[in-house]
Each structure stands twice: as structure tokens, then as C-alpha cells.
Amino acid sequence: MDMTERTIVIVGAGITGVSAAEWLRRDGWKTVLVDPIHPGDPGQTSFGNAGLIARTSVVPVASPSLVRKAPMMVFDPDSPLYLRWRYLPRLLPWLIPFLRNANPKRMHEIAGPLAEMTFDSTEQHMALARGTKAQAFITRGDYISLYRSRSYWEQDTLTAEIQKRFDMVPAPLTRAELAERDRNLGPDYTFGTIYSDFGWLSSPAGYVRALFDHYRGQGGDFRQASVVDVTPGEAPTVTLEGGEILTADKVVLSAGAWSRRFAKSLGMTIRLEAERGYHVSMANPSFTAPHPYMVTDAKFVLTPMQGALRAAGVVEFAGLDGPEHPEPPKFIAKAVKRVYPGLEFESSTSWMGRRPTTPDSLPAIGEAAAAPNVLHAYGGQHVGLTIGPKVGRLIADLAGRRTPNIDLAPYRPDRF
């Protein structure tokens, strides 16, 4: 295909938008990436996540055990689930289909297309980052889940069943084995499970910034502006705040949890919720973790990062713009003390981010019939960093009319 003068505008420059922009640039497109903030800024979700390249994630977010426990959890101040009650009515159009997916049959159905996104994520990150400064942030090692007792792990038979289907069952570790690997570990965690050959980023923000710097250095365009409207059609347009209109051959919508804002102009329903999470980052700790830990009772991941130990997780439903809740960082800080009773650090900072989550835990990838030439690329939920490079590559395939060798039907953006 003659690519001269083929222009594509990418709306949103988190891991998904930067990945798409870079793959499209490599394909010969004239790329214009648009975002009011710079990649690596704390305002984007890609800044503050736990950094896991979660190749083993095959279990959807909605599960029967979550639904069973959620009503109690939202009333329990000592639990990792938060809800702003006033927001509940606006959450319902997303929550109801989300709950419909919280059964074993749907979980098994979703797990296939979810695994398709995650299984080769390490290779996908390497393919994108190779030859750029981003590569140095990719760290390899083990990933261990910590449990208060073996019975918590054994109870979750549905997770085990799904993991088994994809050959993703982790190996069990005894308390002695855990202590042997990490003498700083607190006594509460008496059982663990391990995945070897795992990957994480030593700075998610540094990584996205390095990919972006590479993209710019190779001639990729960036406009620091907020997009107020996207019009689909033969020659789709993107309107910037202030009124300037960019005309393109194609548009990529990769604005993370903010992507829903464009549903009306696209004439379609976008079921996407800001599934908010928090992190506490502890600078210059007296010791660090040998590898990331999933702390299962408190639902956060503790990751050794550059100059800091980061604890990131929990779930809050309070809308895109609702103020930060004061409790989650306190909850996380308290739980870190259980993992590492002897930990000291110089200072700590907290952060809130918005996971873009669909009711069926699957991302939206590609074009909707109602809105030609607009390629959807959002919905990465808890694994958005993991799958960003692959989603970006699939978008480049679709834009270049190459047929990807996977079935994209489960990710159709107009499935809701």
C-alpha cells in the first residue's frame, strides 16, 4: 500500500496510545498523538500501576466470589473495595452487565480471549521496546502470591480450573520456602504460590516516557491538547479544545477510562468504568522485595522499583472525576507493615489511577460499523499495561488492512 500522506490521529498517550502510535509510525503512517498531558505524567493510569507484565492473567475481573463478598466489603473499612454510594445510580448501567458476567460459564468463555491478550505479553513488550531506552526497564524474575493460609488458595477452585485450562497453575510454596527466599517477610503469610520467568517494569512511567521519546526522535508527532470531539466518516476529524480541527484518514481512540466521553459523537454505547486504584510508593526503603508479591488478603501488588518499593492495588468505584478517597492509601500502608514489619523508608507518596474496565473484562479493539475509520483501543482493566503493546500492534494491523491471525470478535467495540 502506498502510505504517502496517510495520516492517523491517536487520541490519548498512555501505554496503549503510545504503543499504537509507535507501531503505526513503524508502518509508515504520518502519526499525530494527542494528549493534554505528557506520557509518564501522574494524570494517566499508565504512570502509577504495579508494573507487572502479567502473562499469567487469565481470570476475568467479575467472579462469583467477588459478588458474594462485595456487599460486605463495601461496608468494611478494613477491606480493599470502596464505593462512593452517591455514585451507585450512575454505576448501574455498567454494574448490571458486569454482574451478569460473574458466573463460571461466562468466566470460562471470557478467559480464552483474555489469555489471547496476555500469554505473549513479555514478547510483545520486547518487540516494542527492543532498540529503545525503554528496554532497560523490563525486569525478569519470579512473581509470588502471599496467602495467610493454604486454605484460601485451595478454596478458589474456579480460578484453579481456569488456570489449568491455560497451563497457568502456579507452584505452591511453604512458609519455610517463603522465608528462605525473603528473610524480611512477616509471619502472617504462611503460604505462597510462585510463577517463574515473570516480567515487570522498574518504572512504568519511565518506560512509557522512553517509548514516547523514541517515537518523537523518529519523527512521530505530538500535540499537547485535549480532544473535545471525534467525528467518524470517510475523512474522520478530531476537534481540539480551542476549536482547531485535525482531519485524518483514521483515528485511534485510546483515551483509557476517558474513552467513554466520545460515545455520543460516535453514535454508540461504550460500557466502560473507571475502576479506580491507588498506590503508596515508599522511597529509599531500608530493604526491597526480591521480586513482585501479590498480597492476596489486601488485593495489592508490592513491586521493587527504581529507588522505591511500590504497593499498588485496591478497587474503588467513584466515577472518573470523583475526589480521591483518604482511606485506601492508609489501608495499603497498614497492610505493607504486615508483609514487611521491619521496613523503613525515607518518605512515601500516594496516587490514584483509573483502570479502564468493561463489563466483560475484555478490551475494545477495532472499528465499529456505526463509526467508520475510528479504531477503538481501550479497556485494559487490571492488565492494561500488560496488553498495551499487543493492542497497539493489532491496531496497526487493522489500520494497515492486514488481517490479524486471531479472532477479534470477542473484542468488538459495539458488543454492548
Ligand X SMILES: Cc1cc2nc3c(=O)[nH]c(=O)nc-3n(C[C@H](O)[C@H](O)[C@H](O)COP(=O)(O)OP(=O)(O)OC[C@H]3O[C@@H](n4cnc5c(N)ncnc54)[C@H](O)[C@@H]3O)c2cc1C
The site for ligand X (CB under 6 A) is made up of 11-17, 34-37, 43-46, 49-52, 54, 226-227, 254-258, 277-279, 301, 312-313, 353, 355-356, 378, 380-386, 388
Whole-number minimum distance, CB 148 to ligand X, in Å?
22
Whole-number minimum distance, CB 123 to ligand X, in Å?
15
Query: Which cell goes with 97?
Result: 452487565
Closer residue to ligand X in complex, CB, 35/182: 35
Closer residue to ligand X in complex, CB, 179/290: 290
Closer residue to ligand X in complex, CB, 180/263: 263
Closer residue to ligand X in complex, CB, 150/412: 412
- What amino acid occupies position 31? T
Closer residue to ligand X in complex, CB, 123/177: 123
Question: How many residues are given for the chain?
Answer: 416
CA distances from 414 to 98, 294, 365, 379 (A): 16, 34, 10, 13
Sheet hosting strand 227-231, strand order edge to edge? 227-231, 237-240, 245-247
Closer residue to ligand X in complex, CB, 30/310: 310
Whole-number minimum distance, CB 313 to ligand X, in Å?
5
Closer residue to ligand X in complex, CB, 224/286: 224
Query: Which cell goes with 217?
Result: 526522535
Whole-number minimum distance, CB 378 to ligand X, in Å?
5
Query: Which cell goes with 171?
Result: 507452584
Closer residue to ligand X in complex, CB, 189/207: 207
Residues paired with residue 194 on neighbouring β-strands, in sequence order = 144, 171
Whole-number minimum distance, CB 24 to ligand X, in Å?
15
Whole-number minimum distance, CB 165 to ligand X, in Å?
21
Whole-number minimum distance, CB 174 to ligand X, in Å?
26
Whole-number minimum distance, CB 318 to ligand X, in Å?
13
Query: Which cell goes with 320?
Result: 472518573
Whole-number minimum distance, CB 129 to ligand X, in Å?
15
Exposure class string for 35-55: b at 16+ Cβ within 10 A, else e:
beeebbbeebbbbbbbbbbbb
d(CA 401, CA 13): 23
Burial of 336 (0-12, 13-18, 19+ CB in 10 A): buried
Closer residue to ligand X in complex, CB, 312/371: 312
Closer residue to ligand X in complex, CB, 113/256: 256
Whole-number minimum distance, CB 119 to ligand X, in Å?
13
Do residues 377 and 23 lie in contact, with contact meaning Cβ atoms separated by under 8 Å? Answer: no
Q: Taking CB positions, which residue lies at the least distance from ligand X? A: 384
